[in-house]
């Protein structure tokens, strides 16, 4: 079984009730839930929430694959990790060790069903234990020197031999949209990723995650241009 799991909670300090605030005409969580609902490879869609209001709105989507899970207060605080609610659900469900667990985050509303399906196809074709989605960045990155922040050191290129953009592989950045792992691995490692990790590349505009108000403005504009209309 392939399970898509979307954790959402009622508390949000930066944007109150962020997960059900409307973006592009629908609640934020609707868009990733829709992607999972329309995905050919997803058998069950689970939205885990501690909020009665979110539960009511989510049930109103009338998605055939949807199951709402009542996450505990212990795993719904500001300091709770995503892994904690993943494990809570896994241990309280009837999932088998070889079932695939797709962690999907509501803060990535430009996720599409085709991305989930293509990511799954890649996962099944190569020898990897887990996979994450992300984008390729072709900027030249630097970091501060460990001993003196007045100076910087390049991370992903040699500034004395600056490559042409066409020849530059760039670096990979998580976009937070989707992660795939087996239930067995998650229980063993207590982590969304395990072992040999592979990468599924998504379009560059999917790099944005909604955490602050300015992200909301940018993502809504990008959705109008590129994504779900």
Q: How far apart are CA 36 and CA 48, in angstroms?
A: 14
Mark whether 162 is an active-site residue. Answer: yes
Q: How far apart are CA 37 and CA 112, in angstroms?
A: 10
Nearest by Cα to 44 from 8, 6, 2: 2
Torsion of CA 60, 62, 65, 66, to 10 degrees: 10
**Is 192:89 a contact under the CB 8 Å cutoff?**
no
The CA-CA-CA angle for residues 99, 198, 101, to 5°, reads 20
45: buried, middle or exposed (CB in 10 Å: 19+, 13-18, 0-12)?
A: buried
Pair type for strands 152-154 and 171-182: unpaired
Backbone phi, then psi, for 54, in 5-degree steps? -65, -45
- Give the active site residue among 136, 162, 164, 192: 162
Q: Which residues are catalytic?
A: 162
């Amino acid at each position: 079984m392939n399970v898509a799991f979307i954790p959402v909670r009622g508390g949000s300090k930066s944007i109150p009730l962020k997960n059900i605030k409307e973006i592009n005409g629908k609640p934020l969580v609707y868009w990733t839930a829709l992607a999972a609902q329309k995905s050919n490879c997803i058998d069950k869609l689970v939205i885990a929430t501690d909020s009665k209001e979110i539960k009511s709105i989510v049930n109103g989507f009338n998605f055939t694959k949807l199951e709402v899970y009542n996450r505990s207060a212990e795993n719904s605080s500001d300091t709770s990790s995503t892994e904690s609610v993943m494990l809570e659900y896994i241990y309280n469900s009837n999932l088998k060790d070889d079932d695939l667990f797709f962690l999907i985050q509501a803060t990535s509303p430009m996720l599409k069903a085709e991305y989930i399906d293509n990511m799954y196809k890649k996962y099944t074709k190569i020898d990897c234990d887990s996979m994450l989605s992300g984008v390729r960045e072709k900027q030249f990155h630097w970091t501060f020197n460990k001993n003196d922040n007045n100076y910087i050191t390049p991370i992903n290129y040699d500034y004395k031999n600056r490559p042409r953009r066409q020849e530059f592989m760039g670096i990979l950045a998580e976009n937070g949209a989707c992660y795939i792992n087996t239930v067995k691995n998650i229980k063993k490692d207590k982590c969304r990723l395990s072992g040999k990790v592979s990468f599924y590349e998504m379009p560059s505009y999917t790099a944005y995650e909604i955490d602050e108000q300015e992200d909301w403005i940018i993502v809504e504009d990008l959705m109008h241009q590129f994504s779900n209309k």
